[in-house]
Amino acid sequence: MLIRLKGGRIYDPANGANGTVRDIYIRDGRIVADPGDSARPDQDYDVSGKVVMAGAIDMHTHIGGGKVNIARALLPEDHRADLLARTELTRACCGHAAPSTLATGYRYAEMGYTACFEPALLPTNARQAHMEMGDVPIVDKGGYALLGNDDLLLSLMREGADQKLINDYVAWTLDVTQCIGIKVVNPGGINAFKFNARKLDLDETSPRYGITPRAILLTLAQAIEDLGVPHPLHVHGCNLGVPGNVDTTLETISGIEGLPMHLTHIQFHSYGTEGDRKFSSGAARIAEAINRNPNISADVGQILFGQTVTASGDNMSQHRNRKFASPNKWVVMDIECDAGCGVVPFRYRDQNFVNALQWAIGLEIFLSVDDPWRIFLTTDHPNGAPFTTYPHLIRLLMDKTFRNEQLARLNPDAAAASTLGSITREYTLNEMAIMTRAGPAKILGLADRGHLGIGAGADITVYTDHEDREAMFRTPDYVFKDGELVAKDGRIVKVTLGATHVVKPAYDRGIEDRLRPFFARYRSTRLENFAIDEEELCECGSSRLTVHQCRHARVA
């Protein structure tokens, strides 16, 4: 079947189209060249004057896995306020802060998103995460496996294992957990918390292993580099949420010694200690560091006001943050000598000095980083706000007048402490297409997503160009997933299954002989029962495994 999208204004930064008017042809789920006058489209969509972009990609969103389900269990009252009724096509479910997997897929697709990446997949919990992601319909999925607090890696490092062995362990982890990247959360800190440490600075040695977070970051970043994994080490740094952590973050940037590194929800790591309340914005220093270091990328983790829930692997920080729980209930877990998690409901208030300044800090970072290819639009869903707030966030970034109106409503001391009011930048449609499509595809190594070139997967979103960018981005006219129309005017018209994106760097299978005794003695599952194969993924609801290329096949 041939589909034509006729006369749209194409924003396709990966291929240099910035509002260019041209037709797009789709056949068998892919974008194809103009087949010539003799070919008659089976379906023709007149999109003249409309804005056409690739489907959006959320490169950091907590959509599945144990901690998300704990968040769901914790907040039935939040769900009751946001019920999705059964329709002919979609099932009854709940949304808001920790939406059901079904609501997650429906609402992402309705907003024009076609791929979501779960950023904290504990290797021991990979099976549950993939089961949940398999039940997120329509959108493609992928996960980042968590390393850096597991007793296995820390034991290897303490024994002085060489980098080659660690590279094999990292590649094996990616392989058996079916992931596309590696994330480290509070490096060494989650592990240290199990030994009753309550903080672990970048150069502090961990209680049992005598290893610093800095060394863990360097070792894992080197492994990613050696293995040629496209996505840089995905880092949730030390001291999340602690005033003064801007210095830790800057040290983390210089400490990685030029290796590629992605700093996630950097807003939560950009706090100074100036002013009467010893809480200030470190955004300018962070943005300057990102601008100066081309090896660094970041997503923001913007906060927006209202009820949400924070779900994180960082149980050390979450235990500290329990005092702010609203409503007052929270969960902290230690998990399987592998990692941990903490779930704390939050209500961000615009009249609260700290919350208001957090809001401003996030926007300052967005607007002060020069290169839109290295900064990504996230709220760290649901930690800063639910993903359904993205259209509002986009308007804040694209509309200075609107932004300043919102700023004027906040806690006045926070507004006064921020430079936001003096920032005049407005993101363009092209920059928005970079930040939400081309950029994420590039940094994840998704060759055939995030763009509209010939051969790309036909994940396409069509918007009416509306001055109110929130309205525009909330309700696209058409959303195509792999060439099928899945949403029209913000309503689901077809429910499909998404693919799972992974990488498979080459490694020495002999690593399993090294790992097997640890599993047999100390873990409660045997190594043989740990791996997830493609058949199991598809049984869980994935349409297929899509393997992306690593930069090189093998490290000497």
Partner 1 sequence: MANRIGAIVDHMNSTALSRNLLVLQDSGWIVTTFAEVRSRADFVLIVGTETNSRFPRFAERLIDPLDSPFSDGPMQRSVVYLGARPKAPADARVLDCPTNKLGEVFGALRCLVANRPLQAVRVAGLDMEILNGLADEMRKAKYGVVAWAAADLDQPHGELIVQSICGLVSDLNETTRFAGLPLGGNDADVTANQVTLWQTGLPLRTGFGRGVPEYDAYHFGTDRLLAGRNADVLLWISAFDPLRLPPETDVPTIVLGSPAMRFTKAPAVFIPVATPGLHHAGHFFRSDGVMAIRLRKLADSPLPSVAEALTAIEQAL
Judged by beta carbon, residue 15 or residue 128, the one nearer partner 1 is 128
Amino acid identity, position 195: F
Q: Which is nearer to partner 1, 142 or 342 (CB)?
A: 342
Least CB distance from residue 532 to partner 1, whole Å? 8
Q: Which residues contact 455 (CB under 8 A, 6 or more apart)?
A: 30, 31, 32, 448
Of 80 and 554, the one with the shorter C-beta distance to partner 1 is: 80
Tell me how far, at minimum, the Cβ of 110 lies from partner 1, in Å: 17
Q: Which is nearer to partner 1, 328 or 549 (CB)?
A: 328
β-strands 181-185, 261-263 pairing: unpaired
Spatial separation of the C-alpha atoms in residues 67 and 341, rounded to whole Å: 6
Interface with partner 1 (CB under 8 A): 64, 66, 68-70, 72-74, 76, 79-80, 83-86, 91-95, 98-103, 124-125, 127-128, 131-132, 135, 151, 155, 193-196, 208, 319, 325, 328-338, 343, 518, 521-525, 529, 532, 536, 539
Describe the crossing of helices 151-158 and 163-177 by its angle, rounded to 10 degrees.
170
State the Cα–Cα distance between residues 241 and 395, nearest whole angstrom. 26
Identify which of residues 320 and 548 has a Cβ nearer to partner 1 in the complex. Answer: 320
Q: Which is nearer to partner 1, 491 or 554 (CB)?
A: 491
Smallest distance, partner 1 to C-beta of residue 91, A = 5
Q: How far is the CB of 381 from partner 1 (least distance, A)?
A: 15
| 68/398 with CB nearer partner 1 | 68
**Residue 215 CB, nearest approach to partner 1 (Å):** 19
Contact 427/395 with Cβ under 8 angstroms? Answer: no
Q: How far is the CB of 299 from partner 1 (least distance, A)?
A: 24
* Nearest to 74, CA basis, from 306, 319, 342: 342
Place of tokens 């929270």: 330
What's the maximum distance between 2 C-alpha atoms anywhere in the chain? 73
Q: Which residues of 77-88 are buried (b: 16+ CB within 10 A; e: fewer)?
A: ebbeeeebeeee
The CA angle 451-457-463, to the nearest 5 degrees, is 55
90 — phi, psi (to 5°)? -115, 155
Cβ of residue 158: shortest distance to partner 1, in angstroms?
A: 10
Token duo for residue 100: 């059901």
